[in-house]
Amino acid sequence: MIERSLVIIKPDGVERSLVGEIIKRFENTGLKLVGMKMVWVDKKFAEKHYSAHKSKPFFRELVEFITEGPVVAFVLEGVHAVENVRRLVGSTSPHEAAPGTIRGDFAHLSMAYASKKGTGGKNVIHASGSKQEADGEIKLWFGKDELHSYTTVHEKHVF
């Protein structure tokens, strides 16, 4: 099933110059970029994006963190994209994320820094957790005219 998923490289990932490395990992698997932008979101927008976490004790710091610098947001399209993107991203807590995943390879450094400051959640990247979440998040972050349909060489020559 062809799906679309939203990915956000969080401020820690952008500030650590991990954008190219992260996008490469998705492209390598054949996932297709269908929209992409750099944005510095405000608190109101961040609260909307994380509205499902409103009642969590870490909600405030999550909103603070995601608004502390620009992020790179993009939409990936592919077969079972939601699940496959999550697999490449790895577990939420960097110390549980497997080596080879984006969080497993990069987020532990952020976490070491974050725990010193007494804050959590600096795990480099966001990815939609379900098809339903993806649909809502893509609508929130991208206008219809910012998403593009085209054919990759994989589709042309492999399938």
- Contact map string, positions 40 to 69, toward ligand IDP, x by CB under 6 A: -------------x----x---x-------
Q: Which of 126, 148, 154, 157 is catalytic?
A: 126
| Long-range contacts (CB closer than 8 Å, 24 or more residues apart) made by 56-64 | 58/120, 58/121, 61/119, 61/120, 61/121, 62/121
Q: 35 vs 94, which CB is nearer to ligand IDP?
A: 94
Element (H, E) at 81: helix 81-89
List 70, 104, 120, 129, residue binding Mg ion (CB under 5 A): 129
Active site residue 148: no
Q: Cα angle vertex 104, ends 102, 109, to 5°?
A: 100
Closest CA to 111 of 127, 129, 90, 82: 90
The minimum distance between CB 112 and ligand IDP, in angstroms, equals 15
Q: 32 vs 126, which CB is nearer to ligand IDP?
A: 126
Q: Distance between the two ends of the chain, CA-based, in angstroms? A: 14
Residue 136 lies near Mg ion (rule: CB under 5 A): no
Distances (CA, A) of 76 to 50, 109, 135, 159: 20, 26, 12, 18
Q: Are 46 and 78 in contact (CB under 8 A)?
A: no
Residue 92 lies near ligand IDP (rule: CB under 6 A): yes
Q: Are 124 and 10 in contact (CB under 8 A)?
A: yes
Q: 103 vs 150, which CB is nearer to Mg ion?
A: 103
Stretch that binds ligand IDP, among 19-27, 39-47, 122-130, 140-148 (CB under 6 A): 122-130
User: Under the rule (CB under 6 A), what is the footprint of ligand IDP?
Assistant: 53, 58, 62, 92, 120-121, 123, 126, 129
User: Under the rule (CB under 5 A), what is the footprint of Mg ion?
Assistant: 129
Residues known to be catalytic = 126
